[in-house]
Amino acid sequence: MTSTTQIVLTSLSEEELLQLSKERLWSLSLAEMKAVQTYYLNQKREPTDIEMETIAQTWSEHCKHKTFKGKIDYTEIRGGRSYRKVYDGLLNETVIQATQELSKRFCLSVFEDNAGIIALDRKWGIAFKVETHNHPSALEPYGGAGTGIGGVIRDIMGVGLGAKPIANCDVFCVGEFGQEKNQMTSNLLPPERILTRVIDGVRDYGNRMGIPTCNGAVLFNKGYTANPLVFCGTVGLIPRDKIQKKVSPGELIVSIGGKTGRDGIHGATFSSAALEENLSSSLVQIGDAIVEKKALEVILRAREENLYSAITDCGAGGYSSAVGELASGCGAKVYLENVPLKYVGLAPWEIWLSESQERMVLSLPKKNLERFQMICQTEDVECSLLGEFTSTGRLEVYHLGQIYCDLDLEFMHDGIPRVFKKALWREPEVEPLSVEFPNKLQTGDILKKLLAHPNIASKRWIVHQYDHEVQGRSVVKPFTGMDQSGPNDAAVLRTQLDSWRGVVLSNGINPLYGKIDPYWMAANNIDEALRNLISVGGNLETCAILDNFCWGDVNDPEIMGGLVRASLACYDFSKFFGVPFISGKDSLNNTWKDREGTLYSIPATLLISAVSIMKDIRKSITMDFKRAGNWIVLIGKTKEEMGGSHYAEVRGWEGGQVPKVDGRASKNLMKTLSRAISKGMIRSCHDLSEGGLGVALSEMCIGGNLGAKIDLSRCEVCPSQTLIPWEQLFLFSESASRWLVELEPSQVNAVKKLFPSDSFLILGRVNKEPVLEVKSKKTLFKFKVGQLKEIWESFSRSQE
Amino acid sequence: MRSFLIEVDPCLKGSSEGRRLKIEKLFQELGFGKLECVKIAALYRLEGELSQSEAERISKEILRDSVAESFVVDPKPQDEKTFFVDIWYKKGVTDSVGVSLLKAIKDIGINTVTQAAHGERILFHQTSDLNNSETLEKKVVQFVDQNLLNPLVQECKLTGLC
């Protein structure tokens, strides 16, 4: 093989191998570099730059999920005893195993394609994927977030033989606003600017693509100041007979969509490494939604005419990953001179590795090329013939007659050495909440502080920038009520206008619990995603979930131990609820270095996204109070679980017990509530999460512009083990598996019979006068709903 | 080769008021002094062998929303105390709006434009406590660099201060 861009590798020492990996931004470990070295020693030649870049991208944590697929030596220290287990593929033994054991018939494609797919009905499937785009968003929030949502939309366009995107969702974790600059943060974009531009990026891309953004969350925590998390998700509609794809040798490799520039080169390896200063602008990608929208139209038309046999998107690693992935069972020859470029001067390896956006790669039978090109022409989409699939088992890349890459695909995909990591978990000693008294804050003052807390306060200024109506499918939207102020728990979409069927989308995330115990964080996140889904009319029977792990430095055994704990909870609670995981993504090593070189990790974060099918979207309900005189009932049990709560945060208290989830009890409550909603017995329903009962009550009043009179004197609650007044505990505990429901007086007895007596507590009634009054032996607080709304919306107003 | 700068402004009173006030507040809070932020506008740069009338046609047919926006081709600062800060993507960074614009210009039958770029213009008015133009220019560029653009992908140019 002749090449002018060979890299001397075979003669390097271990130290030199590592140095080379670092200099070239390959993020390959010594074991991986040695495996590559051995391969080329056997080949009796040196690698080319394209080959090394291709291997580095393919073997990156971003693409290969090395940690989750590697061996993990896990030690758990509990009650003075040590327990050890070696996981031979953590993902397989937890998340995927739960799905396999549940073996749900409605799961049509799980963990094998660009997205998970469940059955909507006999003809259609629902595809769902959530991705993260963290490091790019830290550097250039607008471009990073825009390409984050653009990328996950392409995942849906490239699942099976292509799905039509029908909804987007997004969750952002950013640093707290108003932080003083310090040594650690002096060169970073402030959280205010990061969030503003992230929102702009998601808004511009989603709106321009004509896809509604229906569901999401925003969390503020100092731990995300340097390394924000940007989760973007898309739901798609796909015919069930278009789920399978298969590449055959002899078919053409065709690329459609955007031109290729230097955008995002080294994106995959960069996303697997720590953020440092002085990064190149070539790492930044800027998206173009219009180009992607046009490419989508081509795909949907060509799919209906059965013009291609496989498709995937160009994501991390660009053509190297997309072509390499499609060619994994056969082989491919690629001619880089056929790639349309944004500008001249790109080296062959740059063309091959570029992460320029809006590109899709298809496998096309030769006979269909002319028709396909005609569709591209009518939709004004650039189409280029990159090469063809072969049966050689090799990836061959040429440029102007010269071969630059000749790799054994088996080595490329399976030659990576297994990662081995140590993980350690010490059972946390539950320290009592560090309650400080005298207690000057009255219950009403605490409620006001909670309502103003950025995690809880209205996100109106964000939501109103997104189009959540386009395509005309939105049934339950982000806001509800008299003046569209009440925050709904989940989104409901009517999937097709000739059917009442629909999908429910929700999410659960709470990194505060992870600081105390990632196991219970994961359990609570699953519980939260599901109870949100149940609140609007979803059900467990057709529900599937997605995991998105964002973790810190997994080379630290204790941080790795937390990841194992969270994965174990995913297995346990997926099984408890009978809800399978269908897709997921991990983003590890979310770390950054300050000027002194000190490495920091983000808070352990797990986003759970849930999707469920509704047979009749007319049965969906919202969270706003509907009518004066109706009864207000608490479903579920309240416990003294104030650790990691927003109550503890606004009081500046640490420690305490995080909420635990009783999986079986929770599942029974969810099934019962779901049935009651489907029978029309519940007028409104709101899940209890951040800020507990007090916040949920306020939000329901705000949504309905109605008041409520609540009497806690009849409520039986466990006595407080700390000095927290029991009323505050009852109002602000974040115990899992609880809802507030509104019942017509005629329905109270019937609904009461459905639930266990200790999980059905009548609190009071909806009141015509818009005043929220809560009393126990004496009045704890009495606020006008307008005042509560003013406080709850104050954060949003300050950002508008 | 000719170059036109086209400024597209919202007609509605109070448009971008929140952002303007925020910029003024931030400028003052960071100790740069007092400065009036007059308006924030979208900015487009067209290059090629195009005529003034073609630039105006492009502005009317593509760049401006005829209900909510107005445009000016090659505007100059209205007085010696008014100046612009223009924010552009750096060379080599994908300017997708610019790319779409170039395509749209060709679609309406104008083939004389070879380059199109999209940016943002912030119009400031000098106040009495910031009279030294040289110091002010330094302060404004420093402020914009640190707070209104991302230096990794964007750069700014100040026009109009004597």
Instruction: Please judge whether A197 and B150 are an interchain contact, meaning their C-beta atoms are less than 8 angstroms apart.
Output: yes
**Interchain contact B18–A (C-beta under 8 A):** yes
- Whether the predicted pLDDT of A213 surpasses 50: yes
Length of chain B: 162
pLDDT of residue A262: 80
Whole-angstrom Cα distance, residue A168 to residue A210? 10
- Measured over the CA atoms of residue A598, residue A603, residue A604 and residue A607, the dihedral's sign is negative
Distance CA A63, CA A412 (A): 12
**B153 contact A CB<8A:** yes
A286 vs B100: CB contact, 8 Å cut-off?
A: no
Ordered domains of chain B (ranges, CATH): 2-159 (3.30.1280.10)
> What is the biggest distance separating any 2 CA atoms in chain B, rounded to whole angstroms?
50
CA-based nearest distance B64→chain A, Å: 17
Half-sphere exposure of A664 (CA within 13 A, CB side): 0
Element (H, E) at A295: helix A289-304
Contact between A624 and A764 (Cβ < 8 Å) = no
Q: Do A281 and B153 touch (CB under 8 A)?
A: yes
**pLDDT higher than 70, residue B32:** yes
Q: Which of A189, A263, A289 sits opposite B94 (nearest CB)?
A: A263
* Backbone angles phi and psi of A702, in degrees to 5: -60, -45
Q: What is the pLDDT of residue A185?
A: 59
pLDDT at A2: 40
Res A719: pLDDT: 60
Three-state DSSP class for residue A406:
strand
Q: Is the pLDDT of residue A690 over 70?
A: yes
Q: Of A284, A289, A356, which is closest to B153 when you measure between CB atoms?
A: A284
| pLDDT band, very low/low/confident/very high, at A3 (cuts 50, 70, 90) | very low
Q: What pTM was computed for the model?
A: 0.91
Give pLDDT, residue A94.
Answer: 96
Nearest CA in chain B to A180: B30
B150 touches chain A (CB under 8 A): yes
Residue A184 has pLDDT above 60, yes or no: no
Cβ distance B92 to A281 less than 8 Å, yes or no, reads yes
- B6 falls in which pLDDT band (50, 70, 90)? very high
Say if B94 is an interface residue toward chain A (CB within 8 Å).
yes
**What CA–CA distance (Å, rounded) separates A19 from A754?**
66
Provide the pLDDT for residue A284.
Answer: 67
Find which of B19, B21, B62, B96 to mutate to test the A interface (most A CBs within 10 Å of its CB): B96
Kindly report which listed range (A392-406, A632-646, B137-151) carries the lowest average pLDDT score: B137-151
What is the model's pLDDT at position A269? 53
* Side chain identity, residue B143: F
pLDDT at A333: 96
Alpha helix (H) residue ranges in chain B: 17-29, 52-58, 96-107, 133-147
Cα distance between residue A327 and residue A321, in whole Å: 10
Minimum mean pLDDT range among A88-102, A431-445, A460-474: A431-445
- Give the pLDDT band of residue A12 (cuts 50, 70, 90): very high
Cα separation, A108 vs A129, whole angstroms: 14
Say if CB A236 and CB A115 are below 8 A apart.
Answer: yes
CB burial of A158-175 (b: ≥16 within 10 Å; e: otherwise) equals: bbbbbbbbbbbbbbbbbb
Q: How would residue A436 be classed by pLDDT, with cut points 50, 70 and 90?
A: low
For residue A757, how many other CB atoms are within 10 A of its CB?
8
Quick one: pLDDT band at residue A717, thresholds 50, 70, 90? low
ipTM for the predicted complex comes to 0.82
**Between B86 and A63, residue with greater pLDDT:** B86
Shortest Cα distance, chain B CAs vs residue A287, angstroms: 7
Token duo for residue A66 = 């090395």
Model confidence over A621-666: pLDDT tens digits?
999 999 999 999 999 999 888 889 999 989 888 878 899 999 999 9
Provide the pLDDT confidence category of residue A531 given band limits of 50, 70 and 90. Answer: very high
**Chain A residue nearest residue B103, CA to CA:** A380
Residue with tokens 């038309």: A301
Predicted local distance difference test score (pLDDT) of residue A596? 77
Tell me what pLDDT residue A183 has.
53
Partner-chain contact A287 B18, CB within 8 Å: no
- The chain A residue lying nearest B145, using CA atoms, is A189
Residue A721 has a pLDDT of 64
Q: What is the pLDDT of residues A250-266, one digit of tens each?
A: 999 999 998 888 876 65
- Indicate the pLDDT class of residue A1, thresholds 50, 70 and 90: very low
- Give residue-wise pLDDT tens across range A339-349: 999 888 888 98
- The Cα–Cα gap between A415 and A393 comes to 14
- Residue of chain A whose alpha carbon sits nearest to that of B100: A290
Question: pLDDT value at position B108?
Answer: 95
pLDDT of residue A276: 52
d(CA A268, CA A272): 7
Average of per-residue pLDDT across A433-445: 73
Query: What distance in Å separates residue B93's CA from the closest CA in chain A?
Result: 8
Confidence at residue A441, expressed as pLDDT on a 0 to 100 scale: 75
Give yes or no for a contact between A335 and A399, defined as CB atoms under 8 angstroms apart.
Answer: yes
Note every long-range contact of B124-127, with CB atoms under 8 Å and residues 24 or more positions apart, other chains counting. Answer: B124/B35, B124/B36, B124/B37, B124/B38, B124/B82, B124/B83, B124/B84, B124/B85, B125/B35, B125/B36, B125/B37, B125/B38, B125/B81, B125/B82, B126/B35, B126/B36, B126/B81, B126/B82, B126/B83, B126/B161, B127/B33, B127/B34, B127/B35, B127/B36
Residue A792, pLDDT > 80, answer yes
Does residue B95 belong to the interface with chain A, where contact is any CB pair within 8 Å? yes
Is A686 catalytic? The answer is no
What's A490's DSSP letter? Answer: S
CA A799 to chain centre: 25
Distance of CA A428 to the CA centre of its chain: 27
List A332's β-bridge partners, or say none.
A389, A395
Q: pLDDT band for position A357 (50/70/90)? A: confident
A196, A260, A286, best to mutate vs chain B, most B CBs in 10 Å: A286
Chain B positions touching A359 (Cβ under 8 A) are none
Task: Look up A62 and say whether it is catalytic.
Answer: yes
Q: For residue A384, report the phi and psi dihedrals to the nearest 5 degrees.
A: -135, 145
Q: What are phi and psi of A65, to 5 degrees?
A: 55, 55
**Average pLDDT of the residues in A373-398:** 96
| Site of tokens 């490329």 | A412
pLDDT at B20 over 80: yes
State how far the Cα of A416 lies from the Cα of B109, in Å rounded to an integer.
Answer: 54
Q: How far apart are CA A566 and CA A573, in angstroms?
A: 11
**What is chain A's mean pLDDT, rounded?**
91
User: Residue A591 contacts by C-beta under 8 Å, 6 or more apart in sequence?
Assistant: A227, A274, A275, A552, A553, A599, A600, A601, A602
- Contact (CB<8Å) A261/B94: yes
Closest partner residue to B153 (CB to CB) among A140, A291, A357 is A140
Please report the pLDDT score of residue B151 as a whole number.
85
Yes or no, beta carbons of A284 and B100 under 8 Å apart: no
Under a CB-based contact definition with an 8 Å cutoff, are residues A209 and A293 in contact?
yes
pLDDT over 70 at B76, yes or no = yes
Residues A558, A402: Cα–Cα separation, whole Å: 49
* Encoded amino acid at A479, one letter: F
Q: Do B92 and A282 make contact, defined as CB atoms within 8 angstroms?
A: yes
What gap in Å lies between CA A750 and CA A517, rounded to an integer?
39
The residue of chain A with its CA nearest to that of B19 is: A800
For A309, list phi and psi in degrees, rounded to 5.
-110, -10
CA distance A190 to chain B (A): 9
Q: Which of B110, B116, B32, B36 has its CA nearest to residue B78?
A: B36
Chain B neighbors of A193, CB-CB under 8 A? 147
The answer to whether the CB of A706 falls within 8 A of the CB of A645 is: no
Cα angle, residue A207 at apex, residues A455 and B57 outer, rounded to 5°:
135
pLDDT at residue number A637: 93
Q: What is the pLDDT of residue A686?
A: 97
List the one residue out of A377, A362, A335 whose CA is nearest residue A248.
A362
SS (H, E, C) A304-360: HCCCCCEEEECCCCHHHHHHHHHHHHCCEEEEHHHCCECCCCCCHHHHHHCCCCCEE
* Residues of chain B contacting A263 with CB distance shorter than 8 Å: 94
Q: Does B109 touch chain A (CB under 8 A)?
A: no
